Structure 1
Amino acid sequence: MKAQVLKAFKYQQLIDMMYIANDGTISKRRVKILKVSGDSFQAYCFLRREKRHFKIDHVLSCMPVQVKERQIV
């Protein structure tokens, strides 16, 4: 999972991730990674609308957000 997090940070991509908290609750979050340090990272969480700290080991899955452009024909 660390490789995907580092890649999203490098290319400044938004990611959708499934995350398990310390108490065992699972949530789906859309985040933009701001800083990676060791086994954790800081990101802006669009669910909570604030900067949050996450442990890389607690990320269950992550996918880059695909942005579709609309065209007027």
Structure 2
Amino acid sequence: MIEYFVKKSYEDNKIIRIVYDNKGTITERDIRVLNIKDNRISAYCYLRNSKRTFLMENILAAEFTKIEDLI
């Protein structure tokens, strides 16, 4: 199911909210997927306000978000 949200974000240029596990540190992030290659996701991260790379297997959950949530 997570792959669906990631691919749809990329195809439709939509923002998704993910729960991400980076070596035991869990964060919730709003991202816009820019590219997908194998299990690596290049995305703009609104938490860090910069482009980041995420590993698909480290995404614990994903859902669509509304742009209003970011304002």
Question: Is this a same-fold pair by TM over 0.5?
Answer: yes
Q: Percent identity?
A: 27
Q: Distance in 2 between matches of 1:8 and 1:52?
A: 15
Q: Distance in 2 between matches of 1:47 and 1:36?
A: 20
User: Which residue in 2 is equivalent to 1:39?
Assistant: 39
Which runs of 5 or more structure 2 residues have no equivalent in the other structure? none
Return closer, same or farther for 1:48/1:67 CA change in 2, 3 Å cut-off.
closer
Q: Which has the larger radius of gyration?
A: 1
Q: Which structure's residues are more often strand, by fraction?
A: 2
User: Which residue in 2 is equivalent to 1:52?
Assistant: 52
Please give the root-mean-square deviation of Cα atoms over the aligned residues, in Å. 1.2
**Which stretches of structure 1, 4 residues or more, deviate above 3 A after TM superposition?**
none
Q: Which structure's residues are more often helix, by fraction?
A: 2
Q: TM-score, normalised by structure 2?
A: 0.86
**Contact 2:19-2:61 within 8 A present in 1 as well:** yes
Which runs of 5 or more structure 1 residues have no equivalent in the other structure? 69-73
